[in-house]
Amino acid sequence: MYQRVREYAAEHHMLQQSDIVIAGISGGADSICLLFVLLELKREMGFTVTAVHVHHGLRADSADRDAGYVEKICREQGIELVTFHEDVRAYARQHKLTEEEAGREVRRAAFMEVLKQKGGTKIALAHHQNDNVETLLLNLCRGTGLKGIGGIPPAEGVWIHPLLCLKRKEVESYLEERGISYCTDETNLEDGYARNKIRNHVVPYLEAEINVQSSDHMAETMRQMRLLGEYVETETGRYKKACICTDESGSILLQKEAYVHVPEALRPYVVHSILCQSAGKSKDIEAVHVRIVRELMDKQVGRRISLPYGVTAERSYEGIRFAKEGQASGGKEETADLHMTSRVIERTSQMRTFPKSPYTKWFDYDIIKNTVKMRHREPGDYLTIDRDGRTQKLKQYFINEKIPREKRDRIWLVADGHHIMWVVGGRQNQSYQVTEHTKRILVIEVDGGEKDGRDC
């Protein structure tokens, strides 16, 4: 059995000679087996081990017994032990969690604290194949994706699970053969937790009535799903990179033109990854959020939805823009690098061509009624759109040009009162065009006009 664990750990690159391993030791069969396997590997490889025990404050005398046993074993084996005493029931009430969820969070926090204190590199946990099967069935019953079908990963970041290749019976046989005792958590025999119901009733029924190798087959399926998941993750990253752009405020644009080329099977993963990036975390980003974001792509421009962690997603002309509370949805306003210069020149008969640069324009100076200003949009702004004098509200012009709502306030305008002479980088008002009757020309040049905010 030790050889199998050794090979499994090597296959998944779990341990190196230089590692400082933090081992979660509860006192039960699984964790005591983990401790002794790690000690064997330690003698062979040379890494160091620190044990961590978390007293949950739930089982009174039996919990004290477990803590005392772990202390005794670690003292006998010369292993440093760090013990935490926590009130898991109070933590669960405070954070509105089940006691099972609260216990898991408290343990993870304790392991991470010791990892930081000791300069640790790995956290070893004692999950085995039966735990993994229970996890798979729980995930399937609650609703899951590809990652959930993959079960508990052998190694992920600092977290390692050297015993995942073993069944519970093999763990117990290992301890029995060596005469090593362990504690029994009596709550594991109760049906108070969903996992216990699966452990005590569902898995035994499947193995007795459906297929004696049910757990083995599920373990193999999880292995294949993890491999597939790694491939999907790689492809998701590649397509996501091609689909998004990020502005200076941190908001993310999912570009529809690129998104439609993502294979249908990968689209949910791309959207989920974008949501997690926008939120800054993945917990509570669920399938329902992915679904409503995907549906938003088919909605009208301007539709907006609220998502976890203060993230909003808004349909724009280009696709969907994700922004978090406190982010300006359109990005940093460009003002410091933009300069307007103007001058008035006399029209001569030799002037037959006009500048074609989008950032230099000529205007009929004699028809201007107010002081010319360079500014952003205001209520009442309008354009003259043809030589017949027909006008159009500036808002409608932005809609027709498919300029995203979040960028309209950043576009520079040259205005004669509310009459917009020029949308910088875009349309020039027909009424102000230089004609054969023009005597004086207003020349306006904008330096930095390429930064009008219309680039992603």
pTM: 0.65
- Tell me if 404 sits within 8 A of 318, measured CB to CB: yes
Q: Give the tens place of pLDDT for each residue, 416-437.
A: 889 999 998 888 888 888 888 8
pLDDT at 448: 52
The span from the CA of 86 to the CA of 322, in Å, is 39
Whether pLDDT at 96 is above 90: no
The span from the CA of 42 to the CA of 354, in Å, is 81
The span from the CA of 276 to the CA of 264, in Å, is 20
Q: Which CATH superfamily is domain 2-226 in?
A: HUPs (3.40.50.620)
> Structural domain boundaries of the chain?
2-226, 247-324, 339-451
Sheet of 391-393: strand order equals: 372-375, 413-416, 419-423, 382-384, 391-393
Q: Give the tens place of pLDDT for each residue, 211-248.
A: 999 999 999 999 999 999 999 999 999 999 999 998 76
Q: Write phi, then psi, for 311 (nearest 5 degrees).
A: -85, 135
Q: Give the tens place of pLDDT for each residue, 106-123.
A: 999 999 999 999 999 999
Spell out the CATH class of 247-324.
alpha beta
Residue 41 confidence class, pLDDT cut points 50, 70, 90? very high
DSSP state of 37: H
pLDDT at 8: 93
pLDDT at 353: 58
Q: Matching CATH topology for 2-226 and 247-324?
A: no
Closest listed residue to residue 175, CA positions, set 32, 43, 39: 32
Whether pLDDT at 60 is above 80: no
Query: How many Cα atoms sit within 13 Å of 221 on the Cβ side?
Result: 14
- Tell me if 19 sits within 8 A of 111, measured CB to CB: no
Q: Give the tens place of pLDDT for each residue, 195-206.
A: 889 999 999 999
pLDDT at 455: 38
More confident residue, 226 or 443: 226
pLDDT at 75: 94
% pLDDT > 90, the chain: 50
Whether pLDDT at 314 is above 50: yes
Average pLDDT, the chain: 86
Residue 84 confidence class, pLDDT cut points 50, 70, 90? very high
CATH number of 339-451: 3.50.40.10
The DSSP result for 66-108, as a single string, is HHHHHHHHHHHHT-EEEEEE--HHHHHHHHT--HHHHHHHHHH
Closest listed residue to residue 81, CA positions, set 26, 40, 132, 43: 26
Whether pLDDT at 18 is above 90: yes
Residue in the structure block whose two tokens are 């989920």: 272
